[in-house]
Chains A and B, each alone.
Chain A
Amino acid sequence: MIFGIPVQALMGQLLVGLINGSFYALLSLGLAIIFGLLRVINFAHGAQYMLGAFAALLLLNWGGINYWLALILAPLIVGLMAAVVEKTMLSRLYKLDHLYGLLFTFGLALAIEGTFRYFFGASGKPYAPPAQLTGAVNLGFMFLPIYRGWVVIASLAVCIAVWLLIEKTKLGAYLRAATENPVLVQAFGVNVPLLLTLTYALGAGLAGFAGVLAAPVYQVSPLMGSNLIIIVFAVVVVGGMGSILGAIVTGYLLGVVEGLTKVFYPEASNIVIFVIMAIVLILRPAGLFGKDA
């Protein structure tokens, strides 16, 4: 017993929080990367997460393609679709007020979610975890379902990989330079429009990856991303959009806080992240890791 709460329940909710946090981290990472370079708040991020989950489900049902392959293919599919959208439509809006990008991607999200609802219905569809990851292990103080442990590890690994890609590679250096001054980078002979397309595809691909990871945990449904995206917006505001690492850390942190709230004060668990956002805005408007005021 800790604070009158059974250890089992506490650990259970902590794990749920860590899993939610994994998705918050993956999604806010993608949002932060896209915003950093494109200055677009990608409202379609939740829809792209849903597309990833649906891609995995449809690959399985129509093509018999298993989870592991879907984990690679689905993000590629989502990324490719995003690249087409960026090239044909989104790229026309960069010169305008940034709010138009938000409004455009909002419309895109509505259209995608509406279409999937029309063809697949609003109800959730189950997606079985792969055989290698079923079952649970006894950790002594609790039973850990293996798939849930995998979600945390996989998302952490991908977050670190993306962080390394941006901080330590040449491509990442171009990306960071273009974030600072796109005109100058273009003058040095770097193909900035291509970089923008790749960045949007990368961010959307990350959302798609999160969707595949989420498919066995939550059910696959057309609206699975629409409420999540608003929480992720709050996470991004709390973290401050300037820092990639900040987005990741804040994602996990707020997931865990939400999980703990479920144990100690369940009524507030839906709103705790928004309350934290309001407090952070009052005390530190730039966000926990933000530089721009």
Chain B
Amino acid sequence: MAAKSETVASEDHVTAHPRAGQVQLVLVALALAGLLVAPMFLYPIFLMKLLAFALFASAFNLLLGYTGLLSFGHATFFGGAAYFTAHAVKVWGWSPEAGILLGVAGAALLGLVMGAIAIRRQGIYFAMITLALSQMFFFFCLQAPFTHGEDGIQSVPRGHLFGLIDLNRPMNMYYFVLAVFVLGLLIIRRFVNSPFGMILKSIRENEQRAISLGYSVQRYKLGAFVMSAALAGLAGGVKALIFQFATLTDVTWQMSGEVILMTLLGGIGTLLGPIVGAGLVVTLQNYLATSDFPVTIITGVVFMVCVLLFRRGLVGEFFATKIGRRLGFRAES
């Protein structure tokens, strides 16, 4: 989407520093080290929430940033998976890893159904259709018995990972969530840089051309949609275990809007952008949780400012600066 409307400004041809690759590696290592020691200084639940949403936003970005499809219904996969995981772990007594896998599978299945219907239209219609279908799923969750309506599924046990590691201990849970987060990002990175990912980018850039080259665009789009849904489900399943509940909040259209904001604010089409965006939005919500000032006013205004003034997002804008390009970053890869 970003690419269609504006290409990265590279008129003055700042080339990457020859050792930019090594610098990037060091930066990633530093970030990872920071995340490893972070729970010594910050509240673990807050950090885990941040990681879950960062993964959710990254999964969403896989679709918007790399395929150019704006889904307005990703809450379905995030919240749906949270319900499936919570139900499997609490009612059926499944282990946490099996519960999360069920959440991922359920989200992928929902993604398959929603995607198959929504890819029949393009652009703006696609967004509206995903929104309408996810609202349908919301009403389903409101009425289905296993979700317990307004109450949600409460006091979900975290259990023992692989029957060994007690996830009730905050540090164990934190490192488990961090491992899932890193795994999720590696999958996304691999996916984006695979031949499949390249074809997705070609669809984003010029769908007609991709069709004329013989690619069955619909199948690639559906594949990307299911992949994105499954990863969003991974984030949702983990979130259910972090907070030990699954509620209607996670399947509302507001949640779908929130993940769009995170991605837009951080930078569409960058691997780092959604993570930064999620961090900012979650931190903001944390600070405003105690005041009676409605978050939606700020959310709405930030949305408008982003769209009007910096559509590349914070990370995208940084990548476009001289320093960013010297470091070898590119907004579109």
A interface residues with partner B (beta carbon < 8 Å): 39, 41, 89, 92-93, 95-100, 102-104, 106-115, 117-118, 227, 230-231, 233-234, 236-237, 241, 267, 270-271, 274-275, 277-278, 281-282, 285
Residues of A within 8 A of B136 (CB): 271, 274-275, 278
Q: Distance (Å) between the CB of A279 and the closest chain B CB?
A: 9
Chain A residues touching B, majority SS: helix
Q: Distance (Å) between the CB of A132 and the closest chain B CB?
A: 37
CA of A107 to CA of B296, assembled, Å: 9
**Do the beta carbons of A277 and B1 come within 8 Å of each other?**
no
Chain B residues touching A, majority SS: helix
Residues of A within 8 A of B143 (CB): 267, 270
B297 CB contact (under 8 Å) in A98, A99, A114, A231: A114
B124 CB contact (under 8 Å) in A102, A227, A275: A102
CA of A115 to CA of B296, assembled, Å: 8
B123 CB contact (under 8 Å) in A92, A98, A109, A231: A98
CA of A41 to CA of B131, assembled, Å: 13
Residues of B within 8 A of A106 (CB): 257, 260, 303
Q: Distance (Å) between the CB of B313 and the closest chain A CB?
A: 12
**Do the beta carbons of A103 and B264 come within 8 Å of each other?**
yes
A281 CB contact (under 8 Å) in B117, B294, B297: B117
Identify 26 residue pairs between A and B in the complex whose beta-carbon atoms are under 8 Å apart, listed by A's number.
Answer: A41-B128, A89-B304, A89-B308, A93-B308, A99-B124, A100-B307, A100-B311, A102-B70, A103-B264, A103-B306, A104-B304, A109-B300, A111-B300, A111-B301, A113-B300, A114-B294, A114-B296, A114-B300, A230-B253, A234-B132, A270-B142, A274-B136, A277-B133, A278-B136, A282-B120, A285-B121
CA of A43 to CA of B197, assembled, Å: 31
**Do the beta carbons of B5 and A281 come within 8 Å of each other?**
no
Closest 3 CB pairs of A and B: A107-B303, A111-B300, A110-B300
**Do the beta carbons of A233 and B304 come within 8 Å of each other?**
no
Beyond A111-B296, A118-B294, A241-B125, 5 extra complex contacts between A and B, CB < 8 Å: A89-B304, A107-B306, A234-B128, A237-B129, A274-B132
User: B19 near A: Cβ within 8 Å?
Assistant: no
B133 CB contact (under 8 Å) in A103, A236, A278: A278
User: B283 near A: Cβ within 8 Å?
Assistant: no
Residues of B within 8 A of A112 (CB): 300
Q: With A89-B308, A236-B128, A282-B120 as given contacts, are A274 and B133 in contact (CB-CB < 8 Å)?
A: yes
Q: Which residues of chain B (255-308) have a CB below 8 Å from chain A?
A: 257, 260, 264, 293-304, 306-308
**Do the beta carbons of A111 and B120 come within 8 Å of each other?**
no
CA of A36 to CA of B301, assembled, Å: 26
Residues of A within 8 A of B133 (CB): 274, 277-278
CA of A282 to CA of B129, assembled, Å: 12
**Do the beta carbons of B140 and A271 come within 8 Å of each other?**
yes
Closest residue of chain B to A104, judged by CB?
B307
Q: Distance (Å) between the CB of A191 and the closest chain B CB?
A: 24
CA of A95 to CA of B142, assembled, Å: 40
User: B202 near A: Cβ within 8 Å?
Assistant: no
**Do the beta carbons of A271 and B139 come within 8 Å of each other?**
yes
Residues of B within 8 A of A275 (CB): 136
Residues of A within 8 A of B129 (CB): 237, 277, 281
Residues of B within 8 A of A102 (CB): 70, 124, 127
CA of A224 to CA of B210, assembled, Å: 43
Residues of A within 8 A of B13 (CB): none
Q: With A118-B297, A236-B128 as given contacts, are A108 and B304 in contact (CB-CB < 8 Å)?
A: yes
Residues of B within 8 A of A114 (CB): 294-300
Residues of A within 8 A of B301 (CB): 107, 111
